[in-house]
Amino acid sequence: MNFYLIGAGVIARSHAEAIRKLDNADEVTLIVADTNPQVLRDFQALYPEAETFLDAQEMLAGEAQDDDIVVICAPPFTHFSLSKMALESGRHVLCEKPLVMNEEEADELLEIARRNNRQLGCCSVRFIGLPKLDEIKRLLETNQLGDIYKVTFIHRGQRGRPGVEYQPESKWFLDRSKSGGGIVMDWGPYDFTVINDILKPTSVEVTAAWTSKPQTEVDPVDTVYDVEGHVGAMLKYHAEGKSIWVHYERAHCTHGKPYHLVEIEGTKGAVEWSPYFESDKVIFRTDKNGEVVTEEVELANTNAIDYMDHPIHYFYRKVKGEPSPALTNEQAIFNFKCLQALYKAAETGAGAVVEEVVSA
């Protein structure tokens, strides 16, 4: 089978590693396109098995096989046109996060995927399918938390801006016209994939939201820098006739205190954990005879696949018709629309609603 990568920069290397780890890696042909010849040469030095192209359209000109997968690894402003081209070439598309730049692109891309009977996936699944997240879902399914009424999802970092402190060579992260936005478009896709995977909402209301761009003495001045670094929102999740409040906050630049707290509270118990790197502990709190009881389990990722390999491995399974937690089509679009609703609520000062994206 063929894996085509469009863009051969930082994340393309991670996907190439994941492809090498597939069970049938020896049957996979890796083909990659990048408009930058130096990036392409650097990629080929690391992955000599790859065929290379400077032009993505030329790369996809040949006849498609039914299980061909194109992975979009270029900056967000290219995601729509490159995904469209790849879907229309008759191939399945796994696109990096954020999926696209706006709601119009999201709707149109879903329609193109449906029309071509292809899967459209998003790479924001890196942190789902982990044992600690499965444990959270088990606690909810076995009703150990009672009626859930609030989720707190807070990650506040002080200096982690892509294009400044992280990957400073990729300035496109700072330019809204290229990245689609700041922290919301960078980490929001992962956050809302995790929250939506747990709560399985049929609709999401952003009741209030704000964004801010805290300044530092090293803010770039020789490049466009117009993206937010800190965001907060109150959301109301609707699922199975119930409503759950979600208190969301994300920062990769703040002068305030850095901390993280991810917790689900219910009428019978609460659970705290880190969906990401900080810890593998799942802390369950409940009551026994009026006393607080705290139980802790440590659930390291014992999966054979690394979290960075999830997007490729999950999508590959989906395309092969195997059970998979891949995020595709309607669900991928719904999750993306949650990010846009957050921006809309912050900009207008009014609420914004995301309704279920119904299958065609």
Ligand X SMILES: NC(=O)c1ccc[n+]([C@@H]2O[C@H](COP(=O)([O-])OP(=O)(O)OC[C@H]3O[C@@H](n4cnc5c(N)ncnc54)[C@H](O)[C@@H]3O)[C@@H](O)[C@H]2O)c1
Q: Which residues bind ligand X (CB under 6 A)?
A: 6-12, 33-36, 39, 56, 73-76, 78, 82, 96-97, 167, 170
Name the minimum Å distance from CB 76 to ligand X: 5
What tokens were used for 58? 């030329």
Output 162 or 269, the one with its CB closest to ligand X.
162
User: H/E/C letters for each residue in the chain?
Assistant: CEEEEECCCHHHHHHHHHHHCCCCHHHCEEEEECCCHHHHHHHHHHCCCCEEECCHHHHCCCCCCCCCEEEECCCHHHHHHHHHHHHHCCCEEEECCCCCCCHHHHHHHHHHHHHCCCCEEEHHHCCCCCHHHHHHHHHHHCCCCCCEEEEEEEEECCECCECCCECCCCHHHHCHHHHCCCHHHHCHHHHHHHHHHHHCCCEEEEEEEEEECCCCCCCCCCCCCCCCCEEEEEEEEEECCEEEEEEEEEECECCCCCEEEEEEEECCEEEEECCCCCCCEEEEEEEECCEEEEEEEECCCCCCCCHHHHHHHHHHHHHCCCCCCCCEHHHHHHHHHHHHHHHHHHHHCCCEEEECCCCC
Output 157 or 266, the one with its CB closest to ligand X.
157
Name the minimum Å distance from CB 10 to ligand X: 4
Output 76 or 121, the one with its CB closest to ligand X.
76
Name the minimum Å distance from CB 9 to ligand X: 2
- Nearest residue to the partner ligand X, using Cβ: 9
Output 8 or 282, the one with its CB closest to ligand X.
8
Residue whose tokens read 């939506």: 196
Name the minimum Å distance from CB 202 to ligand X: 28
Output 82 or 246, the one with its CB closest to ligand X.
82
Task: HSE, CB side, 13 Å, CA atoms: give it for residue 352.
Answer: 19
Name the minimum Å distance from CB 75 to ligand X: 5
Name the minimum Å distance from CB 323 to ligand X: 25
Provide the 10 A C-beta neighbour count for residue 29: 14
Output 189 or 269, the one with its CB closest to ligand X.
189
Output 101 or 244, the one with its CB closest to ligand X.
101
Name the minimum Å distance from CB 299 to ligand X: 24
Name the minimum Å distance from CB 276 to ligand X: 13
Helix 10-20 crosses helix 310-319 at what angle (to 10 degrees)?
A: 60
Name the minimum Å distance from CB 79 to ligand X: 7
Output 86 or 270, the one with its CB closest to ligand X.
86
Output 19 or 73, the one with its CB closest to ligand X.
73
